[in-house]
Amino acid sequence: MFKNVIVRVPSKTISEGLTSADEGKPIYSKALMQHENYVSALTKTGVNVTVLEPKDEFPDACFVEDVALCTSKCAIITRPGAMSRRKEAALPDMLEALENFYEHIEYIKEPGTIEAGDIMMVGDHFYIGLSERTNQAGADQMIQILESYGLSGQAVEMKEMLHLKTGLAYLENNNLLVAGEFKTAPEFEKFNKIEIDMDEAYGANCIWMNDYVIVPEGYPKVQEKIEALGYKVLVVDTSEFRKIDGGLSCLSLRF
Ligand code: CIR
């Protein structure tokens, strides 16, 4: 069960966020509204939500998932691979928020880079995607930290996606949404894989929240497959965040 969530309100500079999508720039007012709906959906799942203030100097700072890994034992502050995002990881208000919940806070150090959108938690085990943002040194440090707390981790090769969780979502009970390159990855063979079609690949970025699964709006086949598994579904529109490669998981830290 998750008890707590941390989010950060999008800033008016969100239109300058990093992107590989060719879908235009996010509209600030719409992004704000979608973010409010996201917080409402999270609240419905019974968690306590800490809402941090926007940071104009960091257009991507609403994607808080990337700056910390929150485990059952400790929080680990990452070192983002994207230069424009590197200093997001040590913002004082985020540290303060994490200190409210965690006695132990660890840090990824140079030359390691890691963005926690590349990390998927399955119980006490963590899969770490080696992406353009997360390097081997970062993954090695992370695994070492996890092991020092009795947790474990393993690195996963990846080639196409921005982040590991761009194409994977663990829905507990051994159920795993898989898209694109992860459909055939040997690491995930043991799961009950729910394959997401190419035309709905963005919809693979869902989040399991206690009895609910939050699904992005506009992916009916994904929604149907999740409902068929017996989950209660909440739908949230993330179209403005999609324009800068962000999705549901990216917008929160859940622990
Ligand atoms: C970036 O490129 O860093 C942001 N525009 C999107 C980050 C998405 N985060 C995630 O997948 N965890």
pLDDT 10s digits, 208-225 = 999 899 999 999 999 999
Task: State both tokens at 217.
Answer: 């709006």
In tens, the pLDDT along 72-100 reads 999 999 999 999 999 999 899 999 999 99
Sequence-separated (6 or more) residues with CB below 8 Å from residue 199: none
User: Which of ligand 1's atoms lies nearest the C-alpha of 117?
Assistant: 12
Place domain 4-254 in its CATH homologous superfamily: L-arginine/glycine Amidinotransferase; Chain A (3.75.10.10)
By most ligand atoms within 8 Å of CB, the mutation choice from 84, 87, 162 for ligand 1 is 162
In tens, the pLDDT along 148-176 reads 999 999 999 999 999 999 999 999 999 99
Which residues line the pocket of ligand 1, CB cutoff 6 A?
17-19, 60, 63, 65-66, 82, 85, 117, 162-163, 165-166, 244-246, 249-250
Sequence-separated (6 or more) residues with CB below 8 Å from residue 45: 2, 209, 210, 211, 212, 214, 234
Q: What is the mean pLDDT of residues 25-29?
A: 98
pTM beyond 0.95: yes
Residue 99 alpha carbon to ligand 1 centre in Å: 24
Residue 163 alpha carbon to ligand 1 centre in Å: 8
- Which residue's alpha carbon is nearest to atom 8 within ligand 1? 246
List the strands of the sheet with 48-52, edge to edge.
48-52, 4-8, 253-254
- Which residue's alpha carbon is nearest to atom 2 within ligand 1? 18
Cβ(171)–Cβ(206) below 8 Å: yes
Q: Where do the domains of the chain lie?
A: 4-254
Backbone torsions φ then ψ of 126, nearest 5 degrees: -125, 125
- What's the pLDDT score for residue 38? 98
Task: State both tokens at 239.
Answer: 């179209």
By most ligand atoms within 8 Å of CB, the mutation choice from 70, 78, 250 for ligand 1 is 250
User: Which residues are known catalytic residues?
Assistant: 163, 250
